Amino acid sequence: MAATSDEAAMARAVTLAARALGATATNPVVGAVVLDASGQPVGEGWHERLGGPHAEVVALAAAGDRASGGTMVVTLEPCAHTGRTGPCTEALLVAGIARVVYAVPDAAEGAGGAAVLRTAGLDVTGGVLAEEAARGNEAWLLAQRLHRPFVTWKTATTLDGRIAAADGSSRWITGPAARADAHLLRGQVDAILVGAGTVLTDDPRLTVRDVGGAPAGRQPLRVVADRRGQVKQTARVHDETAPTLITAAPDPAALLAALFGRDVRHVLLEGGATLAGSFVAAGLVDRVVAYVAPALLGAGPAVLTGIGIATIGDAVRLRIDDVTLIGPDVRITARPESR
């Protein structure tokens, strides 16, 4: 049987890492694959939750004695410090791993694992599928670098950019498949953010639900920007389904700083148009996920207001990463060209 290439094993590790999106809090998502001495996969794993075993340890446990003399393929440089768990470098040495292949250098306090392993005589290679692995971990990497959460702005609009009709009705602009996909997106973040106006108008739950409407086991923090104290205790965001924070933070930067202090690393900004405009104007939107329905309204509130652009030359330009048809609707994933 042909040996598994480093790239193929890393692609599998990236897929494994994605299983933990939204579940690792301040930790990165990491996937790992162990190849035996002949290059065959014999163990794999991912870091499932904060405080749980790291991906390398899980993969080594699955491989057992077959790891000796083999290769560890992992999406993030192995850590070299003792935190909630022991250093992965030590686990690799004890298991007799001869070679380590990683994608992205560690940006946290445990950095330096590659140097430790090289000093111990292991063959270490970095940068394999680095772009793919970094994209999967982009929220954590940005938070490490900028000390604020990564912000994804999620929208659901008609083809002419309306989020509701002139009479205020908005259920539903997009179809069931797009709404189900949006719940998967909610499940990958640490917090869901809306403005007070959205709560007053729509009274949303802001929870992660399955296709049958049942709440998921893990729920992100619900955050409502409400500087005027307009949201009442009877609003559905105050039910017991998920934790809720009502904040009077004066601006987007202050709000993100407060959330970072609460260990939030990825925020899903869902509305409304004024709150979204303040984030766009401040340059604090890192990614846009837009669900667009093939419908026209011609009137009604727009998806974005208040960013102060009067001429086409000042438009915020985005780079499209992906376009996917979901039922009758289209999901567009894009990010500012400066990102």
Q: In this predicted model, what pLDDT tens digit does every residue of 142-160 receive, in sequence order?
A: 999 999 999 999 999 999 9
CA dist 250 and 176 (Å) reads 36
Residue 169 sits in the same domain as residue 288: yes
State the average pLDDT for the chain.
94
Per-residue pLDDT, 296: 97
Q: Distance between CA atoms of 122 and 41, rounded to whole angstroms?
A: 19
In a domain? residue 243: yes
99-113, 167-181, 216-230: segment of lowest average pLDDT: 99-113
CA torsion 209-213-217-219 (nearest 10°) is: 40
Q: Is 231 left (phi over 0), alpha (psi -120 to 50) or beta?
A: beta
* pTM exceeding the 0.85 threshold for the entire prediction: yes
- Which tokens sit at 178? 């797009």
Q: How far is CA 23 from CA 14, 16, 92, 100, in A?
A: 16, 13, 25, 26
Structure-token match 């330096």, residue found: 112
The enclosing domain of 79 has a CATH number of 3.40.140.10
pLDDT at 110: 57
Residue range of the domain that includes 38 = 6-143
Question: 189 and 216: one domain?
Answer: yes
167-182 mean pLDDT: 94
Query: So what's the pLDDT on residue 108?
Result: 75
- Residue with the bigger pLDDT between 34 and 109: it is 34
Residues 170 and 287 occupy one common structural domain: yes
Q: Based on the domain organization, do 119 and 251 belong to the same domain?
A: no
Q: Where is the domain boundary, 143, 177, 197?
A: 143
> Average pLDDT of 274-283?
96
Strands 287-293 and 329-336: antiparallel
Residue 1 in domain = no
Looking at residue 212, its pLDDT comes to 82
Same domain, 176 and 302: yes
Domain boundary among 143, 170, 185: 143
pLDDT of residue 164: 94
Respond yes or no: is residue 56 known to be catalytic: yes
Q: pLDDT digit string (tens) for 285-339?
A: 999 999 999 999 999 999 999 898 999 999 999 999 999 999 999 999 999 987 6
Catalytic residue among 44, 56, 77, 132: 56
pLDDT cut 70: percent of the chain above it: 99
Two tokens at 179? 């709404």
Q: In which band, very low, low, confident or very high, does the pLDDT at 3 lie, cut at 50, 70 and 90?
A: confident
Domain boundary (79, 113, 143) is at 143
The answer, yes or no, to whether residue 58 has pLDDT greater than 90, is yes
Position 84, amino acid: R
d(CA 10, CA 3): 14
CA distance 29 to 208: 20
Report if residue 53 sits inside a domain.
yes
**pLDDT tens digits for range 241-277:** 999 999 999 999 999 999 999 999 999 999 889 999 9
Q: Report, in this order, helix, strand and coil percent for the chain, each rounded to 5.
A: 30, 25, 45
DSSP at 302: B
Q: When comparing pLDDT for 199 and 110, which is higher? A: 199
Look at residue 339 in the predicted model and tell me its pLDDT.
66
Question: What is the tally of structural domains in the chain?
Answer: 2
Confidence of residue 85 (pLDDT cuts 50, 70, 90): confident
Q: Are residues 200 and 319 in the same domain?
A: yes
CA dist 107 and 35 (Å) reads: 26
CATH of the domain at 268: 3.40.430.10
